[in-house]
Structure 1
C-alpha cells in the first residue's frame, strides 16, 4: 500500500503534529495518529455554537416575516428547517473513525478521481460563496461602525473593512484546529451574552399579535413555506465539513455522542436567534437589519453588538476556510495547508467585494441560500447514505491511498454510483427550486412550491443506495472488499 505524503513544513504538502492552540497547525489531510487524539465529543458543542450565534440568523428570521408568513408559521419553518443539523451531526461521526478530513472521506462516495471534481464545486466554489456571504454580513456591520467612528463613506473604506475582516478570518484558519477549539469555547459564551442582550430589546419591542396585512392562503402559503424552509435548511446542508472538526477525537468516540453534540451545538442557537429575527420583523423595518436593530439598542451598546457580529462571522468563516484549505489538498493541488487557506481566502474576498460594492446584500443572501441547496442537499444525502450503508466503518489509510487499483479507485477512479446520485439529485432539486431569477418547471407547475431540498435529497439517497447495491461497490460490513 502506498502511504500518503506527510512531509515536513519545508516539504510539498504538510507537516505533522502534535497541534497546540496558539500555534499554526502543521497537519493537513494526513492521518491523525492515535496518540494525538484527545478530548470528549462534548467539546464539539461550543465549536458549533460559536458560528451559529449569528447575525445572519437574525436576517434569515426577518426574511420569513417579510415574505408574508405569520409569526407561528415562521417559527415552525425555523424549527423544521434547522432539524437538518442532524445530518451534519451524523456526518461528523465519520471523523474520529477515519482520522482524516471529510474531503478525504468523500473518496468513498465518488472515487479518488471523481471526488476531485466534486470538491472543486463543493469545497472551492460553494465554500468561497459562503465565505463571501458571511463576510458580507460582517462587512455591512463593520462599514456602519466605521461611519460612526467618523471615517468617510466610500468604496475605499468599504474595501478596507472587508479585507480586515477577511484577514482576521484567515488567521484563525491558519492557526487551525487546536486554536479553533480553544477560541470558540470562549466565543460561544461571549457571543451568547451579547446576543441575549439584543434579544431582550427585541422582545420588549416585538408585536406578539402581529398578523400580515394580507395573510397568505392556499398555494401562495405553500409556496412561501417551501421557500422559507429552503432558505433556513440551506445552512446545515452546507456543512459537509463536520468530520474535519471531529477527526482529532479518539477513534473509539461514541458516534451518537459525536453526532449529538455537533447537531445540538448548531441547532439550539440557530433556532433561538433565527426566531428572534422573526420577532424583530414584527415591529421593526428589517429590510435593513443592522439599522433596525441598532435603532432599539442603547448607543453605548451598538459598538459591542457590531463587534460581536464581526466576531461571529470570523468564527463561522474561520471554520469554512479551514476546511476549504483541506479540500484543496484533497483535490491534489501541491500546496501546504496554509497557502491553500490563503488561496480560498482570496477567492472569497473577491466575491465579497462584488456582493457589497455591486449587489444588494439581502438579495445576494436569499438568492444564494436558495440556489446552493441544488448541490449541497444531494451531496449531504449521498454522504449520509454511504455512512449508513457502511455502518460508519471507514479506514483512514485506505482512504488516503490514491494509486490505481486502490481500495477506492472503483472504475477508472470514479465511483459512478455517487456521481450518478449527485447529478440526478441535483437535477431533481433544480426542477423544484424557486428563486428570483429561476423557477424549476415542476415548481412552476405546482404554483411555485419550492421542494428542492426533500426532492433532491430523496432522489440522491435512493439512487446511491440502489446503484451501489446493484453494482456491489459498497460492501456490507464484514463482507470481503469487491
Structure 2
C-alpha cells in the first residue's frame, strides 16, 4: 500500500496506464495553493507601498487574470505530454541548454520555499509553543516529507486545504468587516499609475511564477483530457484563490497599518479570536502554506533533476535519489528563511518583482514554441538525447532569452535597481510586459525559419510526438 502511495516517477514520461483523475482536480489544487498567508501579504504590499484600496483591488484582478492565463496555458501541456514542465524547455533551449533557465527556476523555488517557511514557521511556533527558528525547521521537515511522498498526497492536500482554508477566509472576512469601516476604505480612491501597475505586477508575477512547474501537477491526467478544461479549471482555481487572499490582504493592510506590517501572521490570527480559536487559525495558516511549499519543493527537485540529467543522460530517478534532491531544496530554503526572517516584507516584494524579469522571457518562448511553432507536438525521446533533433545547446534560443531579460532592465523598478525609463513613465514598472512581448516576437521570427510538422508515431506506451488542440 505504501509503495502505491509513494510516487515513483520523476522526469520520465507518465505512461497512459498510470494516468488518472480529471481536470477539476486542477481547480481544487490551485485554489488551495493560493488561499494562504503569503498571498495575503502579497496583496497587502500594494497598499503598504502606497496604493489605495480600490485601484489596488482592480490592479490585482487584472494581474491575476493576465498572469493566470499564461500559467494555465502551461498547465494544459501536462496531459498531452505527460512530462514535468521544465523538461519541455529542452525543445527550445537544447537538452543541456535548458540548464540556463533551470538555474533561475531553482533559485525561485528556494526563495518561495524560504518566504513561505518564514510565515508558516511563525504559525508553527505558536502551535508548538516554541520560537520562530524552531517553527521554521519543523515546518520545513514536514514539507520535505510530504514532497517525498509525491503526486497523490499533494493533490489530496490541495483538496483538504481548499475546503478548510476557504471556510477560514470566509470567517476572517466577516470578522474584518465587523471590525473595519470597509465602506470608508473603498471610498478613498485616488488613481496613481505607478501604484496601479505595482498591483498588477505583484499579482501577475505571483501567477507567472507557477508557470515553471504547473504542468508537473497535470501530467498524470489522461491524455484524452480536454486542453480547454485543463486551462479553465487551472485558471479558475489559481485566479480565484489568489484574488480572494490578496483582496483580503489589501483590506487588512489598509485598515491595520503598522499592526499588520509588524506581525502579519499574528494580526490575521487576532481577527479570528483568541485561545483555541487562535490555535485553529495558526493551524490553517500552516496548512495553507504547507500546500504551496510542497509544490515549491517538488518543483525544485524536478528542476534540479532536469538540469543535472541533461549532462548525465538520465531518463529516470530512484526513490532514494528523489529524497536526496528534495532534501537539498529543503535545506537550502530553510537556510535562506532563517537568514531573512527579520526583513521579510521589503525583501519579498523585491524578490517577486525581480523574479518576473527572468520568467516572463522563458514563459513567452515556451508558449510560442509549443502552441505556434511545434503545434503542440514534441519528439519525446529527443528531449533526453543530446544528439537528437533538439541538440545539446540551442544558442539562438538562449540569445533570445538573454535579449528578453536585458530588454526589461530599462523598465525595471526595484529597491536595488531602477531603470532609466522608469521615471519618464511616472515611476511605473512595465518590465514584465516587455519581457513577454519582445522574446515572443523574436523567438517566433527565429523559429519560423526551421518550423515543420512533427510526425505522430507511437513508441511503446508513450508517443514519439503528441498533439492536442489549444485551449
* TM-score under structure 2 length normalisation: 0.88
Deviations 1:206-249 (A, max 9, x none): 323435999756xxx21222222222211111112111111111
User: Contact 1:439–1:448 at 8 Å: present in 2 too?
Assistant: no
How has the CA–CA distance of structure 1 residues 18 and 465 changed in structure 2, closer, same or farther, with 3 Å as cutoff?
farther
Is 1:159 the counterpart of 2:136 in the alignment? no
Whole-angstrom distance in 2 between the partners of 1:64 and 1:381: 26
User: Contact 1:27–1:337 at 8 Å: present in 2 too?
Assistant: no
**1:144 Cα shift?**
4.7
**1:475 Cα shift?**
2.7
SS at match of 1:247: coil
User: Contact 1:94–1:394 at 8 Å: present in 2 too?
Assistant: no
Consecutive aligned runs of 4 or more in structure 1 exceeding 6 Å deviation? 212-215, 478-481
Deviations 1:344-383 (A, max 9, x none): 1111111111111xx4111121111111111011111111
Partner of 1:291: 266
User: Contact 1:173–1:318 at 8 Å: present in 2 too?
Assistant: yes
**1:284 Cα shift?**
1.5
What is the root-mean-square deviation of aligned Cα atoms in Å?
2.4
Equivalent residues in 2 for 1:96-175, closer than 5 Å: 96-122=79-105, 124-145=106-127, 149=129, 151=130, 157-175=131-149
One of 340, 355, 364 as aligned partner of 2:325: 340
**1:479 Cα shift?**
11
Whole-angstrom distance in 2 between the partners of 1:168 and 1:65: 33
SS at match of 1:52: coil
SS at match of 2:33: helix
How has the CA–CA distance of structure 1 residues 63 and 332 changed in structure 2, closer, same or farther, with 3 Å as cutoff?
closer
Whole-angstrom distance in 1 between the partners of 2:9 and 2:455: 32
Equivalent residues in 2 for 1:295-310, closer than 5 Å: 295-299=270-274, 300-310=276-286
Partner of 2:461: none
One of 428, 433, 445 as aligned partner of 1:449: 428
Is 1:377 the counterpart of 2:360 in the alignment? yes
Name whichever of 197-206 and 104-113 sits farther off. 197-206
Name whichever of 251-260 and 437-446 sits farther off. 437-446
Kindly indicate which of the two structures has a greater share of residues assigned to helix.
Answer: 2
Name whichever of 327-336 and 65-74 sits farther off. 327-336
> How many residues are matched?
442
Partner of 2:194: 223
Whole-angstrom distance in 2 between the partners of 1:118 and 1:432: 21
Name stretches of at least 5 consecutive residues in structure 1 with no aligned partner.
1-16, 152-156
Partner of 2:221: 249
Deviations 1:250-285 (A, max 9, x none): 112111111111111111111112111112233212
Equivalent residues in 2 for 1:73-472, closer than 5 Å: 73-83=55-65, 84-122=67-105, 124-145=106-127, 149=129, 151=130, 157-210=131-184, 221-239=192-210, 240-285=212-257, 286-287=260-261, 288-299=263-274, 300-333=276-309, 336-356=321-341, 359-389=342-372, 390-399=374-383, 401-404=384-387, 406-409=388-391, 413-470=392-449, 472=450
Whole-angstrom distance in 2 between the partners of 1:177 and 1:58: 26
Deviations 1:94-113 (A, max 9, x none): 11111111121111121111
User: Contact 2:119–2:265 at 8 Å: present in 1 too?
Assistant: no
User: Contact 2:79–2:221 at 8 Å: present in 1 too?
Assistant: yes
Name whichever of 278-287 and 305-314 sits farther off. 278-287
Is 1:40 the counterpart of 2:22 in the alignment? yes
